[in-house]
């Protein structure tokens, strides 16, 4: 893959976590309070049903099991943890807790994909975590334990889903849209009974609620996950996992531009450090292999 192609797919990959960064502001500003499960269901299920219907194909054989596992990891479990963390923690802090995801991806990649562990990636993780901390932490901030646990569980769920998606790929006969739809349906359906028991669906929805749920389903799920799975297909899993650092950066910038939040000097420094961490993690991709010049053959005398 040429450098231009790498840059293209890196930019495509960054769209998904950037969109996910907007989840926090949409959750707090547009959705009903204290209904993370409902938000998870309405984010995943409508988009998944739409993609599956358009695909006219259902999983076959071993793919029923694989899609169930991937749907629970990438969608069901991750969505629930994401929304719980978003409700209990400040938006950027939730992303900070989930910033351990690349380390989990590296370890699982070494176990399941035989990827080599590189010091550069651990350095990038440390730099990224420092950047996110500068971006979101405030003095005397009190963080609820449940929110931190939810964030960590979400990181484990997503990291495992990334690695297994890379390991298994997708059925050759189906499109990426259909493959994405299957997972969204599985994850959404798994959360329906829990949402009904624990929260119940809201009896009335405001126009803001409808706008928020529609955005999360069509943009936050359908568009973002199609691009995310395509990036996993094209790029190394560790590369994709580090790009998720763009999520807290997007959350902070959206707070600045939309809510009028003021960026401090430490937050600006944190944003620059996050960009540095992403750059460190991707450096190896752009190193060209040395050109091998084939030896010329000396003509033999007859």
pLDDT tens for 26-39 read 988 999 877 888 98
What range defines the domain where residue 172 resides?
3-286
CA–CA dist 86, 171 (Å, integer): 34
CA–CA dist 290, 287 (Å, integer): 9
Does residue 297 belong to any structural domain of this protein? no
Does residue 88 belong to any structural domain of this protein? yes
pLDDT tens for 250-289 read 888 888 888 887 778 888 898 888 888 888 887 766 665 4
Does residue 296 belong to any structural domain of this protein? no
Helix ranges (DSSP H) in the chain: 3-21, 23-30, 36-55, 63-70, 78-88, 91-97, 101-112, 119-136, 145-168, 176-198, 207-215, 224-234, 237-243, 246-258, 265-282
Does residue 273 belong to any structural domain of this protein? yes
pLDDT tens for 147-204 read 888 888 988 999 999 999 999 999 999 999 999 999 999 999 999 998 999 899 888 8
Q: Do residues 97 and 148 touch, judged by C-beta distance below 8 A?
A: yes
Does residue 291 belong to any structural domain of this protein? no
Is the predicted pLDDT of residue 68 greater than 60, yes or no? yes
Does residue 56 belong to any structural domain of this protein? yes
pLDDT tens for 4-34 read 888 899 899 999 989 988 887 898 899 987 7
In this prediction, residue 302 has a pLDDT band, given cuts at 50, 70 and 90, of: very low
Element (H, E) at 285: none
Number of domains in the chain: 1
CA distances from 72 to 2, 54, 161, 221, 261 (A): 35, 22, 8, 14, 35
Q: Do residues 230 and 262 touch, judged by C-beta distance below 8 A?
A: no
253-281: string of b/e by CB count within 10 Å (b at 16+)? bbbeeeeeeeeeeebeebbebbeebbebb
Does residue 221 belong to any structural domain of this protein? yes
Task: State the DSSP code for 175.
Answer: -
Does residue 295 belong to any structural domain of this protein? no
CA–CA dist 273, 158 (Å, integer): 23
Residues with Cβ within 8 Å of 128's Cβ and at least 6 positions away in sequence, in order, are 99, 102, 242, 245, 273, 274, 277, 278, 281
CA–CA dist 6, 293 (Å, integer): 25
Q: Do residues 41 and 198 touch, judged by C-beta distance below 8 A?
A: no
Element (H, E) at 289: none
- The reported pTM is 0.83
- Range among 45-49, 92-96, 109-113, 291-295 rated most confident: 45-49
In this prediction, residue 50 has a pLDDT band, given cuts at 50, 70 and 90, of: very high
């Amino acid at each position: 893959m040429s450098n231009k192609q790498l840059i293209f797919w890196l930019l495509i990959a960054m769209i998904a976590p950037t969109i996910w960064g907007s989840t926090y502001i949409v959750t707090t500003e547009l959705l009903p309070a204290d209904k993370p499960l409902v938000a998870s269901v309405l984010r995943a299920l409508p988009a998944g049903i739409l993609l599956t219907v358009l695909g006219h194909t259902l999983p076959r054989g071993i793919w029923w099991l694989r899609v169930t596992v991937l749907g629970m990891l990438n969608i069901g479990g991750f969505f629930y943890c994401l929304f719980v963390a978003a409700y209990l923690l400040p938006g950027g802090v939730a992303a900070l807790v989930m910033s351990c995801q690349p380390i989990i991806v590296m370890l699982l990649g070494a176990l399941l994909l035989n990827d080599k562990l590189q010091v550069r990636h651990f350095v990038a993780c440390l730099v990224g975590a420092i950047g996110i901390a500068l971006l979101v932490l405030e003095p005397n901030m009190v963080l609820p334990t449940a929110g931190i646990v939810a964030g960590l569980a979400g990181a484990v769920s997503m990291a495992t889903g990334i690695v297994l998606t890379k390991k298994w790929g997708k059925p050759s006969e189906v499109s990426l849209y259909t493959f994405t739809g299957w997972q969204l349906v599985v994850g959404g359906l798994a959360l329906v009974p829990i949402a009904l028991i624990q929260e119940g669906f809201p009896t009335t929805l405001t126009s803001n609620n409808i706008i928020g749920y529609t955005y999360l389903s069509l943009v936050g799920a359908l568009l973002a996950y199609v691009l995310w799975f395509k990036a996993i297909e094209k790029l190394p899993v560790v590369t994709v996992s580090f790009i998720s650092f763009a999520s807290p950066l997007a959350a902070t910038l959206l707070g600045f531009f939309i809510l009028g939040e003021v960026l401090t000097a430490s937050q600006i420094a944190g944003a620059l450090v996050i960009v540095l961490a992403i750059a460190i993690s991707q450096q190896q991709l752009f190193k060209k292999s040395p050109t091998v010049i084939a030896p010329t053959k000396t003509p033999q005398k007859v």
